Structure 1
Amino acid sequence: MSSTTTVQRPRTPVGEQLAGGRSGTIDDANAVLRVAIIGNPNTGKTTLFNALTGLRQRVGNFAGVTVERVEGHFRTPDGRRVAVLDLPGSYSLSAGSPDEKIALDVLLGHDVDRWSPQVVLVVVDAAHLDRNLFLTSQVMELGIPVVVALNQFDVAQEDGLVIDVPELIHELGVSVVPTVAKRGEGIETVKRALEIAAGLPAPARRFTLPGVAEGILAPLVGRLVGSGMLPSAARMEALRLLAATRAEPHVLGQTELLREVGEAVTALQGAGFAPHRLESEVRYAWISGVTERTVTSTSVTGSDRSHRIDTVILHRVWGPLIFLALMALVFQSVFTWAQPFIEAIEWGVARGGELVAGWMPAGDLRGLVVDGVFAGVGSVLVFLPQIAILFAFIGLLEQSGYMARAAFLMDRVMRKVGLHGKSFIPMLSGYACAVPGIMATRTIEDPKDRLATIMVVPLMSCSARLPVYTLLIGSFVPPVVYFAGVGLQGLTMLGMYLLGTLAALGAAAIFKRTLLKGPVRPMILELPGYRWPSLHSLAVSVAQRCRLFLRRAGTVILSLSIVLWAMATYPRTAVDATLPEEAQQEQQLANSLLGRVGHAIEPAVRPLGYDWKIGVSIAASFAAREVFVSTMGTIYGVGDRGDEAVALGQRLRAERNPTTGAPTYTTLVAVGLMVFYVFALMCISTVAVTVREAGGGRVGWQWAGLQFGYMLALAYGAAWIVYRGGLALGLGG
């Protein structure tokens, strides 16, 4: 056997050899060509979309990355404008989950925006052609021209696969273009193939059911056609109804249709067929024949390598330990690697404030710029390096294929609390942001499982909590290093993330045993092969997150910093001139509008060990959690004790109780405050998306209200226990 392998390219250009060997002509060359992209998860579909359009989508190795409508544009080599829609990753068109329903509605022309594709680009994984052709075969029956992008061609070569592309074109009857999307290979050929396919007829159906089964199915298809469906769509809908384990909601009120479905099921069973397996068995039999004639394997190197790694990574004992060790390393790196960059940004913000203060005349405008903008926004900007490092690690783990393994490891735990294993994928997304995490629950078929997941995703520590954690850990947790570079600061950060995860699992168990009772369903998860991450995709992903963070800093945080500065500055009141300057500033701040609001809040937060400054910062952070940091920065900027710029963490450590002289903020207070933020739902965007995803209207608001209420109660109770328990143990005051 040869030690080298090759993957064959088409023997003639794809623009010339198409379905049936015909060349296509362009219909209405001046019109915008509408193209929908669909494919299984982990095929590189979104990477291909990015390569075609130049837009940037997050690239990951698990289902649920693309759940929103994303549309882009490009021009073909001949200059025709193309509008391309990136559909959610789907394994089939059975519409078992909300994201699969989105894909099916668009392809059938039922999209609410009436966006009907003229060509469908199906992205398949060349290394797993047998699994990917199921969806391809379904799309080919919809009466729409199809182009197949045979993506990850390089991976197929590494795995020792030889694919006869011309023979595959013959078998499918559609254009097949080998691509390596992450390197841009084959992209121009795809554009040309799409343009040509628009002038070709839709592909013919490539497989049929046994004659008896087709005869039984015909009356049901005829009824659906009579209701207004296209014949191709009606046949697929009929197969879907036969395979359904329970009556579809849109069919429940149609007595005649329900009767005909029941009669068809009975007839098929009488003929010796299993209705729920009929379509899949026939399709996979056809697919098996196609792959036997088009794919040969000369090596199993790739699969063997992944299997050997998985024996360790997925081990019942070593797997979870490796996961925890990786997370500890990530969080320690957030502190260790980011520190030089943080110090540089702190220096830049401080020097910038001093320069502006020197240029501008004394007065309110200078106070606004220096104490409001620089102190408020600057106190948040210093955490940009840590956010970049965190998302770089997350991107590495996603693109390498490890995150899918983490979901597999957690499936056993998820089942014990009553959740579907798929719930862990949105929960993982919640580490970045709860909003896309909640939207990623659309991959969950069961509505009760989906709602239970929505209710607990915000407990996962998102990136907006990171500035709060890092400010408090960096200020009050000593940088003690224990082993392998992992120290107390990194372990404290890991503890906050684990605490949120455990709370989410506990809350899910309660929901699934009370309001959202239901059976626990098994999870079927595709584990992608291990891959070297694309540095370009990783850089784009990190840059996206950094831009989002900077945009929030330049809009929400800037606006709130200005408002908070005004509240901390006005009204100006007379102060005791005999007091030291520091005491005069403190008195002015206490008499300001912000101080009055803070003192009104203080009785509610004093049992937790917080003063009015923390109380008002918590209240302000409902807009966005990181506003807590900017609010504290604004408060201490207005109450600055001198001309020398001092980092916010140093000011917090130096703060003293004016009555007792004891430190206002201690390690115990800091830990209690972090615990509060682990549990509290301080994010208006999350509330809004919960309302929408939980059903909208009154029902959506009820679930969102319950979510906000139970999380706030949990936050207050946990922070109280930490603070009061710590005092009882003599850990600080």
Structure 2
Amino acid sequence: MTARPPVTAMLPPAPTDQVPESGRAGLSEASREHRDTLLRVAIIGNPNTGKTTLFNALTGLRQRVGNFAGVTVERVEGSVKGPDGHRFTVLDLPGSYSLSAGSPDEQVALEVLLHRDSDRWTPDVVLVVVDAVHLERNLFLTSQVLELGIPVVVALNQYDVAKDEGIAIDVPELIHALDVPIVPTVAKRGEGLDPLKRALLTAATLPPPQRRFTLPPDVRDALEPLTTCLTDAGLTRSAAGMEALRLLSVQKSEAHLATVPRLQAEVQDAIATLRHRGFQPNRLESELRYAWIADVVERTVSRPRSIKQNLSDRIDRVVLHRVLGPLIFLLLMAIVFQSVFSWAAPLMDGIEVLIGAMGGAVGDRMADGDLKSLVVDGVFGGVGAVLVFLPQIAILFAFITLLEHSGYMARAAFLMDRVMRTVGLHGKSFIPMLSGYACAVPGVMATRTIEDPKDRLATIMVVPLMSCSARLPVYTLLIGAFVPATSLLPGLTLQGATMLGMYLLGTVAALVVAAIFKRTLLKGPVRPMILELPPYRLPSAWSLLVSVAQRCQLFLRRAGTVILALSIVLWAMATYPRTIVDPSLPEGARQERQLEGSVLGQIGHAIEPMVRPLGYDWKIGVSIAASFAAREVFVSTMGTIYGVGGENEAALTDKLQTETNPTTGARVYTPLVAIGLMVFYVFALMCISTVAVTVREAGGGALGWKWASIQFAYMLVLAYGAAWIVYAGGRALGFAG
């Protein structure tokens, strides 16, 4: 194996014909001032270029996640320290094929780059990440960014893959063609990061690039009034030129068109003039840009004459097979859910022992009384019952991230396209649904890549049916307590198969409900799917670690805030008012009397008639009611209820297995009750965050609340009906209830 040469930054020639000496001196002064200021860098690129991997490599764990103001597109920012002490703040913009704003994701990126972002986040430099293997496809977005009047740096990513495939890129000639700094990078191995940071600093002191091709005179004259209108509205001359060309092919009305006087009229006048002169306005931008791109690629890229079938193509012959493909997908899902049990068990046991020891150590140092009960039973019993499941959530997110970063998720969407078409959608809708396995909130946000409004809304309505990680603690608790670890196949137990069954049940239900929506309220034609299948890649361990760490951090934050607060409230409700109990009664009976007389017990008994047909007692009923805030609260509520007043030494699973009805002596929890309870959680929408996101993504205001109410109502009816069928049907078949 030959050693690779180090990747270095390559800069364009100094623009001596554009910047006078006095201007250069001013730029140097500005550069010195930058040492103590924060340089803002916006990262943009096509999907599957390694943009997020590069972002993670630059920022490590120094990231913060939120939403763009007014929208629910995830906003990820990070901080970077440059080689000479400069500090950068880096914003990872949504992946975009262009700035044409065909989807909400692209609209967000466009607003930031045109300084229309409501947060006023103005980048000093734009870092465009391009795939060195597919340079021609990536240069369309690059050509648009070059015209925005902002300094630009290009990261020529996956440079190693291009060389391995025999693709030679004349980087100096490419710099001459683009007139911006270009840095070859290998993001997954962290190669080129230091040269990239230096290039960002250098670019901030250079004049911004200009359009790299010339408009035909007739086109330039036709667009001049529109360009002037955009300039008067606040855009730079360069950005106005890009926007004028872009607006010719806009298929739908954009909000800012109504805010700029005469803008809509100028757009229509320009379109009419161009048509009169023999041009097709909706194709003009793509024709001009791709003509320039073809010339650039011809001068800078050489490929081997005989292109052999690459590894991705050979793998796809098996993975995308009509029969083998779906079987491989099911096998992968089975491995994921079996691993959730097998690999996580030792770590879960360790966390359980640690939390128990901490609770015991704290309790031993406290006097008996309500404060001790609050700390031991409320905090350690409630929050600890949820924290035990952190290893399983980490393993689930690790697998999902691995499948996403490796390129397999796009294949799963391709495989599902045939199935999705039978319900009125296409495979692109399955990507948000797959994201729903991790969390419904980013799954709903991922629908912003779907262009058709009806398809997007139908997908939003069913994404919460995909079993998210918040359901995992509920499934794990009940499966671990009531489903035996019987081996079904080598490496697959009944527990893993049951978990897989819950996920498949939600997926099948989502497809059925989507079919109903697409044939009734959201009826519309099935559109063809255009989906890029990225090459298979081995994700970097660091990028994988960062993604999993972010999700675990969010889970811990939730456990330390929402679940902690609810656990304390529930402990108080289960403790007060104090009930006078006959001391001669057994300890278990005294605890039961105290709970029944408490506020929580009274609420539970009021709820019990509604859940009794499902086989649930008041404790399950009140735990379900509490978990409408967040599904994980079911487990913490059960931990609080069974910890209050008890010795709190036995694990929650043991307490559920031994819980009996004080009147009849019958088991409260049976396998049939556990299966029905899991089915209830498969269908019920018990997540305030998901409701809030649905309201905003479905249109906001009264329209958003209408669709969110429909979503919540149909899922609750579906949950109750399915749980009743499981319980009543199981009893009719002779299973113990």
Question: Does the TM-score normalized on the shorter chain lie above 0.5?
Answer: yes
Give secondary structure in 1 for the equivalent of 2:310.
helix
The residue aligned with 2:145 is 139
Distance 1:8 1:352, change over 3 A: closer
Counterpart Cα distance in 2 of 1:543 and 1:257? 46
* Residues 396-415 of structure 1: pairs in structure 2 closer than 5 A: 396-415=402-421
Within-5 A mapping of 1:232-631? 232-246=238-252, 248=254, 251=257, 261=267, 264-265=270-271, 268=274, 273-298=279-304, 304-631=310-637
Q: Once the two structures are superposed, what CA deviation does each residue of 1:32-87 show, in whole Å capped at 9, x if it has no partner?
A: 4333221111222223223333446699xxxxxx9323333434444444333221
- Which shifted more, 711-720 or 656-665? 656-665
Report the secondary structure of 2:33's partner residue.
coil
Superposition pairs of residues 177-188 of structure 1, within 5 angstroms? 177-188=183-194
- 1:687 paired with 2:654, answer no
- 2:74 aligned counterpart, secondary structure: coil
Instruction: Write the letter of the residue equivalent to 1:241.
Output: L
2:685 matches 1:669: no
Q: Aligned pair in 2 of structure 1 residues 598, 386: CA closer, same or farther (>3 Å)? A: same
Q: 1:151 to 1:599 in 2, by over 3 A?
A: same
Distance 1:147 1:358, change over 3 A: closer
User: 2:712 aligned with 1:708, yes or no?
Assistant: yes
Between the two proteins, what is the percent identity of the paired residues?
71
1:351 and 1:120, CA in 2 relative to 1: closer, same or farther beyond 3 A?
Answer: closer
Aligned residue identity for 1:202: P
Contact 1:448–1:517, Cα closer than 8 Å, also in 2: yes
Range moving further from structure 2, 426-435 or 446-455: 446-455
Deviations 1:429-485 (A, max 9, x none): 211111122222222223332222222221111111000000011111111111121
Q: CA deviation at 1:153?
A: 1.5
Q: Separation in 1 of the partners of 2:376 and 2:390?
A: 20
Letter in 2 for 1:128: H
Supply the distance in 2 between the matched residues of 1:610 and 1:450 (Cα, whole angstroms).
Answer: 37
Partners of 1:484 and 1:605 lie apart in 2 by: 39
Instruction: Give a deviation string over 1:177-220, Cα, whole Å, max 9, x none.
Output: 11122332222222222222222222232123444444444454
Query: What are structure 1's unaligned runs of at least 5 residues?
Result: 60-65
More off after superposition, 206-215 vs 41-50: 206-215
Q: Tell me the distance in 1 between the aligned counterparts of 2:356 and 2:117.
A: 52
Q: SS in structure 2 opposite 1:205?
A: coil
Listed one character per residue, the Cα deviations across residues 257-292 of structure 1 (whole Å, up to 9, x for unaligned) are 666655654665565544332221222222122112
In 1, Cα distance between the equivalents of 2:160 and 2:54?
Answer: 14
CA distance in 2, matches of 1:85, 1:720: 48
Q: Kindly tell me: are residues 27 and 704 of structure 1, through their superposed partners in 2, closer, same or farther at Cα, counting changes over 3 Å?
A: farther
Q: Is the 8 A contact 2:377 2:643 kept in 1?
A: yes
**Structure 2 CA distance for partners of 1:579 and 1:223, relative to 1, 3 Å:** closer
Q: Once the two structures are superposed, what CA deviation does each residue of 1:3-57 show, in whole Å capped at 9, x if it has no partner?
A: 98978967xx635845689997445232543332211112222232233334466
Q: Give the equivalent residue in structure 1 for 2:42.
A: 36
Q: Match for 2:121 among 115, 124, 130?
A: 115
Query: TM-score, normalising length from structure 1?
Result: 0.92
Pick one of 191, 196, 213 that aligns with 1:190: 196
How far, CA to CA, are the matches of 1:291 and 1:166 in structure 2? 13
Counterpart-to-counterpart distance in 1, 2:494 and 2:547: 29
The code of the aligned residue for 1:672 comes to G
Query: Conserved in 2, the CA contact under 8 Å of 1:177 and 1:186?
Result: yes
8 A contact 2:62–2:78 mirrored in 1: no
Alignment of 1:644-663 (within 5 A): 645-663=649-667
Give yes or no for contact 1:5–1:162 (8 Å, CA) kept in 2: no
C-alpha distance in 2 between matches for 1:638 and 1:672 = 26
Contact 2:103 2:451 in 1 (8 A): yes
Distance 1:347 1:373 in 2: 15
Distance 2:15 2:329 in 1: 48
Residues 618-672 of structure 1: CA deviation (Å, up to 9, x unaligned) = 01112211110111111111253xx472111111111122233221111111111
SS at 2:650 equivalent: coil
User: How many residue pairs end up in the alignment?
Assistant: 721
| 2:579 aligned counterpart, secondary structure | coil
Q: Which amino acid aligns with 1:95?
A: A
Q: Which residue of 2 aligns with 1:717?
A: 721
AA aligned to 2:684 is: A
Separation in 1 of the partners of 2:599 and 2:198? Answer: 64
Instruction: Tell me how far apart the structure 2 counterparts of residues 302 and 295 of structure 1 sit (CA, whole Å).
Output: 18
Q: Which structure 2 segments of 5+ residues have no match?
A: 66-71
Q: Which residue of 1 aligns with 2:77?
A: 71
Contact 2:426/2:527 (CA < 8 Å) preserved in 1?
yes
Cα distance in structure 2, aligned partners of 1:8 and 1:173:
22
Distance of aligned partners of 1:110 and 1:349 in 2 relative to their CA distance in 1, 3 Å threshold: closer
Quickly say closer, same or farther: Cα 1:644–1:514, change in 2 above 3 A.
Answer: closer
Query: What displacement does 1:332 show?
Result: 0.9
SS of equivalent to 1:103: helix
Separation in structure 2 between the aligned mates of residue 704 and residue 409 of structure 1, nearest angstrom:
30
Aligned match of 2:55: 49
Which residue number in structure 2 is paired with residue 63 of structure 1?
none
Equivalent-residue separation in structure 2 for 1:234 and 1:514 (angstroms): 43
Residue aligned with 1:30, SS: helix
Aligned residue number for residue 62 of structure 1? none
Displacement of 1:334:
0.8
